[in-house]
Chain A
Amino acid sequence: MSFIEVKEVSKTFKVNKRSAGIPGMIANMFVPKFENKKAVDGISFDIESGEMVGFIGPNGAGKSTTIKMLSGILCPDSGSISVNSYVPYRQRKEYVAGIGVVFGQKSQLQWDLPVIDSFELLKAIYRIPEEMYKKNLKRYTDMLDMGGFINQPVRQLSLGQRMRSDIVASLLHSPKIVFFDEPTIGVDVIGKETIRSFIRELNEKDKITMIFTTHDMQDIEQTCKRILIIDKGSLLYDGSLQEIRNKYGTTRQLIAEFNEDTEVTPIENVMIGDPKDRKRSFTFDNSVVDVNALMHEILGKYSIRDITVTEPEIETIIRKIYNKEVFA
């Protein structure tokens, strides 16, 4: 049995459907119309202990609903969820004692109090033994370099500092699983890097199972080996990032800068872009066209100043998967 097992889980919300205009508003007051919106539609997956998994998908894809079901806030309409042999939405207290949840958008710290006071409160809430509390606190605050602001009220912290504090807050009770819902939102580049490397290290050393949702593909690229792509409540893809690259990322773009304005003769299986500042793009599929031969041909035929070949961004590939241009 896997550490996390999700089988055929569906979740439908009743959404109040408002008619347009003032007459519609009044009509709605007396006879509200409801519409069923399927937020999650028959999703299944397994996650092993110690895995680091990224959930990606556009807004409203069902990511948050899935995370809410996994963390026990919501129960599914049908299907089953088991995490660490608990049923999250049934055995709430036992289950949540062993998980941590970070909401990037919503702090769990006491706004007016120094960070350390919130940690003390969590110590009491989770019944963390003194020794474990001290050890975790020291280790995490050192790793995230929090010594400088741990005694400052949360309201005075920068977003990056607050986020680091929130992450530590969700780890003090040594959870086996941590859910991160957009943990780097609004954080600057250096802050993001600190958070990512911290998360990576925890996963590698402590084997904490981690589940992410994010819009920042860099987060995913630098932390997760496996991604689940969700859209319109269904699972579009479940596999490694590398696999996605290999499978769908075969498009390459070669950009050549010419020494003078030059007409280019068509090349088979290569899409040639319009010239711009003496630059032209050559787009091709590297499983069809050999890069070497193409470069050879271009360099041999024309007078070239500069030439580069680029791999597509993972974002581009994923956008294509959302748009069903490629099928996972």
Chain B
Amino acid sequence: MRSDALKLSAVYTKMIFRSWFQYRVDAILRSLAVFMREATSIIVIYFTLLKFDSLNGWNIYEMLFLFSLVYVTYGIMIIFFTGLRDFGKTVRTGGFDRYILRPRGLLFQLIFANADWFAAVGHGCLGILLFVLSAAKIGVVWTPARVIYYIFSIAGGVLIQGAIFLFLAALNIYLFETNALKEVFYWNGRKFAGYPISIFHKAIQFCMTFVVPFAFVNYFPSQFLLRKDDMAMYPEIFMYITPLVGIVMYLLAYLFWRVSIKYYKSSGN
């Protein structure tokens, strides 16, 4: 059964690559465009920040490290959760009914039939580049324990963002359209996440920690490695629980999804 699911995900992936390579130039340009678009915004921020020595004790490279975590997790996330990000469209065009008519898990199909590998390459490369630029200059000694911690934090960060999209996809079944919510909660949250959250107003800090917990995607994991003074504002345990936050959020979103699917079948669309 498990090897069978693996085989199907491989076939889906093959199809996605073949579709994209029908338009080879477009595919490569797409990755490049994503990379350039995101890199430009980073470059703007970089030159702005050069005017300051530090922001609440964070120097420029430490901030680039924060950004690198945003991009690395996002790059991995859109391999798995693009289908959930674009779920509203899938429902509107009737594509979701087709998934229901096929003898496979609905989430499984949504995930593997929609993986956006090319955008993932764009975001992922930028994330890796930022990591390479910053990692050597932030004074972190990469012991095996820290590497393992880093990997688990990335997995947690991917799950946290995946859970947000899963939650919004489920909500979409009741509201028909959640783009505005996605804009407010996800994309705005992501913009704040580029900076140490301690520089913001208390209300934003609260949102970033407990509502749309982007702080657990990059700020708290970075604190584990960097130990800046502003960590004193938060419980120490926050540095360690990113993977747990990811798992719990994803499970909650999954339960909500299950309930919503039942509602979809009884309400139609």
The verdict on A75 contacting B103 (CB below 8 Å), with A106-B98, A112-B22 known, is: no
- Tell me which residues from 88 to 104 in chain B have a Cβ below 8 Å from any Cβ of chain A: 93-94, 97-98, 100-104
Tell whether A77 is near chain B: CB-to-CB under 8 Å. yes
Interface pair B15/A110, CB less than 8 Å apart: yes
Contact of A75 among B4, B98, B265 (CB under 8 A): B265
Tell whether A74 is near chain B: CB-to-CB under 8 Å. yes
With A and B bound together, what is the CA distance between A92 and B7 in angstroms?
Answer: 22
Nearest CB of B to A68, in Å: 7
With A and B bound together, what is the CA distance between A94 and B102 in angstroms?
Answer: 10
Contact of B22 among A89, A96, A127, A153 (CB under 8 A): A153
B23 contacts across to A, CB distance below 8 A: 112
B94 contacts across to A, CB distance below 8 A: 103, 106
Contact of A112 among B8, B11, B19, B93 (CB under 8 A): B19
- Tell me which residues from 102 to 129 in chain A have a Cβ below 8 Å from any Cβ of chain B: 103, 106, 108, 110-113, 117, 120-121, 124-127
Tell whether A132 is near chain B: CB-to-CB under 8 Å. no
A120 contacts across to B, CB distance below 8 A: 11
Tell whether A14 is near chain B: CB-to-CB under 8 Å. yes
- Tell me which residues from 4 to 28 in chain B have a Cβ below 8 Å from any Cβ of chain A: 4, 7-8, 11-12, 15, 18-19, 22-23
The verdict on A73 contacting B100 (CB below 8 Å), with A112-B22, A113-B19 known, is: yes
Kindly report which residue of chain B lies nearest to residue A118, judged by CB atoms.
B15
Tell whether A83 is near chain B: CB-to-CB under 8 Å. no
Tell whether A25 is near chain B: CB-to-CB under 8 Å. no
Interface pair B97/A68, CB less than 8 Å apart: yes
Tell whether B144 is near chain A: CB-to-CB under 8 Å. no
- Tell me which residues from 73 to 110 in chain A have a Cβ below 8 Å from any Cβ of chain B: 73-75, 77, 89, 92-94, 96-97, 99, 101, 103, 106, 108, 110
Tell whether B40 is near chain A: CB-to-CB under 8 Å. no
Tell whether A72 is near chain B: CB-to-CB under 8 Å. yes
Interface pair A124/B19, CB less than 8 Å apart: no
With A and B bound together, what is the CA distance between A110 and B265 in angstroms?
Answer: 25
A121 contacts across to B, CB distance below 8 A: 11-12, 15
- Tell me which residues from 185 to 242 in chain B have a Cβ below 8 Å from any Cβ of chain A: none
Tell whether A161 is near chain B: CB-to-CB under 8 Å. no
Tell whether B48 is near chain A: CB-to-CB under 8 Å. no
Interface pair A117/B103, CB less than 8 Å apart: no
The verdict on A117 contacting B18 (CB below 8 Å), with A106-B94, A125-B102 known, is: yes
A13 contacts across to B, CB distance below 8 A: 267-268
Counting residue pairs across A and B whose Cβ atoms lie within 8 Å, the total is 67
A184 contacts across to B, CB distance below 8 A: none
What is the predominant secondary structure among interface residues of chain A facing chain B? mixed
Interface pair A97/B103, CB less than 8 Å apart: yes
Q: Mark B121-146, 1 if CB is under 8 A from A, else 0.
A: 00000000000000000000000000
Tell whether B41 is near chain A: CB-to-CB under 8 Å. no
Interface pair A77/B100, CB less than 8 Å apart: no
Interface pair A127/B267, CB less than 8 Å apart: no
Kindly report which residue of chain B lies nearest to residue A92, judged by CB atoms.
B100
Tell whether A165 is near chain B: CB-to-CB under 8 Å. no
Tell whether A213 is near chain B: CB-to-CB under 8 Å. no
B12 contacts across to A, CB distance below 8 A: 121
Interface pair B19/A125, CB less than 8 Å apart: no
A68 contacts across to B, CB distance below 8 A: 97, 268
Nearest CB of A to B78, in Å: 20
Tell whether A65 is near chain B: CB-to-CB under 8 Å. yes
Interface pair B15/A113, CB less than 8 Å apart: yes
Interface pair B15/A75, CB less than 8 Å apart: no
The verdict on A124 contacting B103 (CB below 8 Å), with A75-B266, A113-B19, A113-B22 known, is: no
Most chain B CB within 10 A, of A77, A96, A120, A125, is at A125
A106 contacts across to B, CB distance below 8 A: 93-94, 98
Contact of B18 among A14, A73, A101, A113 (CB under 8 A): A113
Interface pair A124/B97, CB less than 8 Å apart: no
With A and B bound together, what is the CA distance between A127 and B5 in angstroms?
Answer: 10
A103 contacts across to B, CB distance below 8 A: 94, 98
Q: Mark B60-99, 1 if CB is under 8 A from A, else 0.
A: 0000000000000000000000000000000001100110
With A and B bound together, what is the CA distance between A68 and B266 in angstroms?
Answer: 11
- Excluding A106-B93, A112-B19, A124-B8, 8 further A-B contacts by CB distance (< 8 Å) are A71-B101, A89-B265, A92-B100, A94-B103, A103-B94, A108-B98, A110-B19, A117-B15
Q: List 5 A-B contacts (CB under 8 A).
A: A72-B101, A73-B100, A93-B104, A96-B103, A121-B15
What 9 pairs across the A-B complex have the smallest Cβ distances? A97-B103, A124-B11, A112-B19, A93-B103, A112-B22, A75-B265, A124-B8, A96-B103, A73-B97
